[in-house]
Chain A
Amino acid sequence: MLVDWAVTCRYAESNGLVGTIVGAGVDLIQVPALPQAVGIMLAVRLGATVEEFQADQTHELAVQVQAPDGQPVRTPDGSESPPITAQFSGAAQQIVPGWLVTPMFAIALQWLASEAGTYTILVRAGLGEPSRSPVHVLEAGAPPTITS
């Protein structure tokens, strides 16, 4: 199982198979002042074999947000925020033998942005490699220069 693709957006919803994405590709967040809780949505499509996606199986969706320095973002009390996981399950059959099963999810994220710069959202399904989606955070009025 792997993350086939993940797209940042302003809004997404999915029926599990196909989705509706509003503002696909948006990657800039602007807030009056920092630190500030910020958020964005992702539309995420997975790819899995039908054997990996049976009704009696549970899978893990893990999300992590890295700050501009590459370290995990911090919680309001100053500690590093570890990856957050959610469990999901479902049953799927293949339309054609050999085709991948491609469930789709909508994910809303919120984190505490302590500084301006490029944050990275990592999404991992199961034991696969995570996808990486950059999101830029700016203070209002600041010149549009980003450090990554």
Chain B
Amino acid sequence: MRYVVIDLEGNQRESFESVEELLSELRDIVLSAGPATLAELYVLEHDDAGHEAGPTRRADEILAGAFAGVGTPQTYLFDFVNGHASEIVSPDSDPEYREIREQIREQTVVPA
């Protein structure tokens, strides 16, 4: 697999054989030119035959995802009625969390 960095016009800048090399280069770009520079770069994945092997991804999202990962889940419920906290692993299917979300939707008032 090769990771090919392209600019907004589709011009190839560099390519790398490993994710580690790609991330190192993206980090160097942030350090030298500022984080906004990455918003103008995209990354293509090419297989060994040189064919595109995945979606085109924004360089800034790749870097952020790789260097700021936090363990899942990221949603918590603090229930002072029943006196407990819980991690919400599946926000769309947790029945207690869904019920409280519906309650919040009904009770909160947005001034007209």
Show the binding face of A for B, using Cβ within 8 Å. Answer: 10-11, 13-18, 23, 26, 28-31, 37-41, 53, 55, 61, 63, 65, 73, 75-76, 81, 84-86, 88-96, 101-112, 138
Contact = CB atoms under 8 A, between A and B. Distances in A.
A41 B88 CA distance: 13
B49 interface: no
A31 B68 contact: no
Chain A contact residues: over half helix, strand or loop, or mixed? Answer: strand
B70 A81 contact: no
Interface in B63-112: 63-72, 74-81, 83-88, 91, 97, 100-101, 103-105, 107-111
Interface of B: 27, 30-31, 35, 63-72, 74-81, 83-88, 91, 97, 100-101, 103-105, 107-111
10 contacts: A61-B76, A88-B76, A90-B71, A92-B68, A92-B69, A103-B68, A103-B70, A105-B75, A108-B100, A108-B101
Contacts of B31: 96
A80 B30 CA distance: 50
Contact of A111 (B63, B80, B84): B80
Contacts of A15: 74
A85 B109 contact: no
Contacts of A101: 68
Given A10-B108, A30-B107, A101-B68, A76 B78 contact: no
B70 A17 contact: yes
